[in-house]
Amino acid sequence: MNTYIKILLGTCCSFSILSCSNNLDETVYSKVTEQTYNYTVDDFTPSIASVYSYLRSQSDHWGYFCAQEVSADAIVMPPNASGWDDGGAYRRNHQTWNSEQDHVKNIWSWFYQGALLCNKIIEQIETGVIPTPSDTEKTQGLAELRAMRAYYYWQICDNFGDAPLVTTTAMDLPAKNTRREIFDFVENELIDLSEEVGGNYYGRMTKWAAKALLANLYLNAQVYVNEARWNDCITQCDDIINSGKFTLAENYKDPFRTQGVESCKEIIFTIPYDENFATGNSIFMFSWHGELKKKYNTIDTPWGCGSAMGVTQFIDTYNEKDSRLADTWLMGQQLAADGTPLYGTYDKMGEPLIYTKDIPSGNYTSELEGYRMNKFEVAENSYSSSNTDIPVFRYAEIMMMKAECLLRTGKSGAGTLVTQVRQRAFKDNPELATVTDSQLAGNTCYQYGYVEDYKIVDRGNTDPVQFGRMYDELGWEFAWEMHRRRDAIRFGIYTTKSWLSHKPEGD
């Protein structure tokens, strides 16, 4: 792991506490406070690194992960005999939620904490409180901070729409800004960033990460501000493609390994995790059965019999020869590291631990039902937080965004791009990798409808989904990567369709 990331991991937690302030009288027992601390040039890099700390909450099952995945149509977290109800929190995410839902409150808090910390560090650098090594490094550092602040505000724009846009540490806060104002702010903040990739820029905002962010902003502009910006999205994607700095990894699993991802040219922007210094990637802990500790030789035991699993209707959309099915989902009989069978320990005690595809509903499952997470590698001797980094933007997404925009603007070439992404998933059946523009423009193969006792009992809205096959392709490529809610909204599915135990609630 490179030097910059070591600094980031070792300091971001300690510096993040500097973002808090209050007017309460307090007794200071330490000799150094924020007011008395004298910053030096050595604090410049760690201060910038600190603003990345709030990214690590994105994989938390009490926040962003559930808000993006469990509220959509690919992943669900039902209760079971080991628990996982938590007052109905996860079921509400799947079915009907409002502003009082903890996941909604938590992501609001985390995004704003990230943005406000950016404000603080920007002001400290601009006023000279934090000395800078050189004018060039000052310019680059401020650009990086503004880009990270833009990222947090993009998430606020995406998840909340109208919201306060705060760019200083002053306490006079606006009641609310329009979504358009936040959109415009994000669009104009992403300038003067480094063109370097990898090395000391791994896990940092660069020119290319900023372009990927802009591409996402334009891709969803019709949702955000009722303005089609498909061609602007294509422009940003083309800049990344034509840079020659990125390429698809040879294997689908390569961007999700515990080792070697720092040199993976598919990664544009990622969240670095470390089991000791930068914890937070615990997806396997809330998806896996506790007995899987014996399969993967983890130190910590996954929680209960796990919960996060695939929605059967989504799993049924895969081609059985698509290698992403097994690369993404843990399925079938589970064996210990020594090859001996594992068994259920709750409602199916003594029965072989065989993960089955079908689940009865989103309200309750047995400990053996539902395919589980197999996307992010978990190394031996892992604690409750994995070392595996989670990509925010990767090159496959750039190709898929361009393909979608080509479809939506009536231009050719979408099939060629999607075929290139599919090829590594059909190495043994290359003829199945090819997809055409007209196929991508067709309806989804997802069988939507409300499920009871394993069967669809109410199909609800059955209108064809425009570019539905493109939507399917996004699901197969990006499952577990926290894209699904945004995609479902853009394709008109989120507020219209029924799936598992979810019925639409309108806009």
pLDDT digits (tens, 9 = 90+) for 405-423: 999 999 999 999 999 999 9
Q: Which residue has the tokens 């210094």?
A: 277
Q: Which helix (H) or strand (E) holds 387?
A: none
Let me know the angle formed at the C-alpha of 402 by 396 and 407, rounded to the nearest 5 degrees.
Answer: 125
Q: Give the pLDDT confidence score for residue 100 in this predicted structure.
A: 87
Q: What is the DSSP string of 218-230?
A: HHTHHHHHS---H
- Record the tokens describing residue 307, joined without a space: 């919960």
Flag whether pLDDT at 1 surpasses 50: no
pLDDT tens per residue across span 463-504: 999 999 999 999 999 999 999 999 999 999 999 999 999 999
Could you count the other beta carbons within 10 Å of the beta carbon of residue 181? 16
Question: How many angstroms separate the CA atoms of 335 and 486, rounded?
Answer: 36
Ramachandran angles phi, psi of 343, nearest 5°: -130, 155
Structure-token pair, residue 189: 């903040």
Structure tokens at 486: 């945004």
| Beta pairing partners, 414 | none
| Sequence-ordered list of residues with C-beta below 8 angstroms from that of 320, at least 6 positions apart, any chain | none
pLDDT over 90 (residue 303): yes
Amino acid at 186: V
d(CA 280, CA 27): 32
Write out the two tokens for 143.
């650009």
Three-class SS state of 431 = helix
**Across the strands, what pairs with 450?**
458, 500
pLDDT band at 11 (very low <50, low <70, confident <90, very high): low
- In single-letter form, the type of residue at position 490 comes to R
Whether 198 and 262 have beta carbons less than 8 Å apart is answered as: yes
Tokens of 5: 């990331």
* Placement of tokens 């989804």 in the chain: 444
pLDDT tens figures, 165-189: 999 998 777 789 999 999 999 999 9
Q: Does the pLDDT at position 33 exceed 80? A: no
Question: Which two three-digit tokens encode residue 167?
Answer: 């760019």
Token pair belonging to 34? 């924020």
Both tokens assigned to 316: 């049924």
Q: How far is CA 471 from the centre of its chain?
A: 17
Q: Give the span between the Cα atoms of 145 and 111, in whole angstroms.
A: 14
Q: Are 76 and 373 in contact (CB under 8 A)?
A: no
CB 329 within 8 A of CB 308: no
β-strand partners of 391: 270
d(C-alpha 397, C-alpha 403), whole Å: 10
Nearest CA to 114 out of 44, 186, 53 is that of 53
Query: What is the model's pLDDT at position 173?
Result: 76
Nearest to residue 283, comparing CAs of 52, 53, 65?
65
- State the Cα angle at 445 between 495 and 402, rounded to 5°: 75
Residue 21 has pLDDT above 60, yes or no: no
Interatomic CA distance for residues 311 and 474, integer angstroms:
16
The model's pLDDT over 262-296, given as tens digits with 9 standing for 90+, comes to 999 999 999 999 988 889 999 999 999 999 999 99
Beta bridge partners of 80: 83
- Strand, coil or helix: 75: strand
The angle that helices 179-189 and 207-219 make with each other, rounded to 10 degrees, is: 150
Residue 15, pLDDT score: 44
Question: What pairs with residue 269 in β-bridges?
Answer: 393
pTM of the model: 0.94
Q: What angle do CA 460, 464, 469 make, to 5 degrees?
A: 120
Could you give the CA distance from residue 353 to residue 368 in angstroms, rounded to a whole number?
6
Q: What pLDDT sits at residue 134?
A: 97
Element (H, E) at 500: strand 499-500
